[in-house]
Amino acid sequence: MKNLNIYKIVFFFVIYGCKTHTYTNEKVNPNNDGTRTIEWDLKKNLKEKKTGIYLYPNLGTKFSLKKGKFNGTFQIIDIDKNDTIFYCNYVDNLPIGRYVKNFYHRYKYRHFRTLPLKPNIDFGDGKGFFNNQHQKEGIWIEDFGNCTKKGGYEKGKKEGVWEENCYSDTGGDDTKKIFIYKNDSIVNTEIKIFPIGKVFFSSQRSEMRFGRF
């Protein structure tokens, strides 16, 4: 069923005969701020409500529009490392299916101009899956600076065990936190401090404590 929805999107574009626009200027690449080219093109195409499939081989980028809305795959690949930086399918600007965004690392952050501010198609660094109602579903990994969270969603709400690992790049302690969610609310918490520390539980979010004790 999940793959079927993606095939429907592809089939939709074939039926409507979208034009493919390919940009192969050898001077345009991520190292010379070539991502500005996509930023400018996106603003123009969204404003003019364009329809088409847009390919930028030297930037490892492709996206699809129908009447100024994202429909189909938006993908960014680091062509030097053959690594997926961003991937998502859309139906009228709404996400569906697999989602990947990996912008945090410095060599990838140069692509930040590629994603528009409006409409908002960016759902943060991490990876997971959107259901047919465009809600987060199943296991997700979400990155926030020096912290990584992993846990499950049910119809867009956090449920069950979520694990958060935070590391210090300034010589401080690393921490591991385990949150228990019910209907998107925390009902229990466990925190571990590394390399030295103890484990304790708190049934109230306001009682969460950090550091050694």
Other residues' Cβ atoms within 10 Å of the Cβ of residue 179: 21
Cβ(138)–Cβ(130) below 8 Å: no
Domain boundaries, the chain: 20-139, 145-198
What are the structure tokens assigned to 82, written together? 């053959």
CA 210 to chain CA centroid, nearest Å: 29
Segment 81-121, tens digit of pLDDT: 888 999 999 999 999 999 999 876 555 556 777 888 889 99
* pLDDT (0 to 100) of residue 13: 43
pLDDT tens string 24-39: 765 666 665 667 888 8
The confidence score (pLDDT) of residue 20 equals 86
Return d(Cα 119, Cα 74) in angstroms, integer: 13
Handedness of CA 120, 121, 123, 125 (dihedral sign): negative
Per-residue pLDDT of 117-143, as tens digits, reads 889 999 999 999 999 999 999 999 999
| CA angle centred on 46, ends 44 and 50, rounded to 5° | 90
Q: What is the pLDDT of residues 143-184, one digit of tens each?
A: 987 889 999 999 999 999 999 998 876 666 688 899 999 999
**Looking at residue 206, what is its pLDDT?**
31
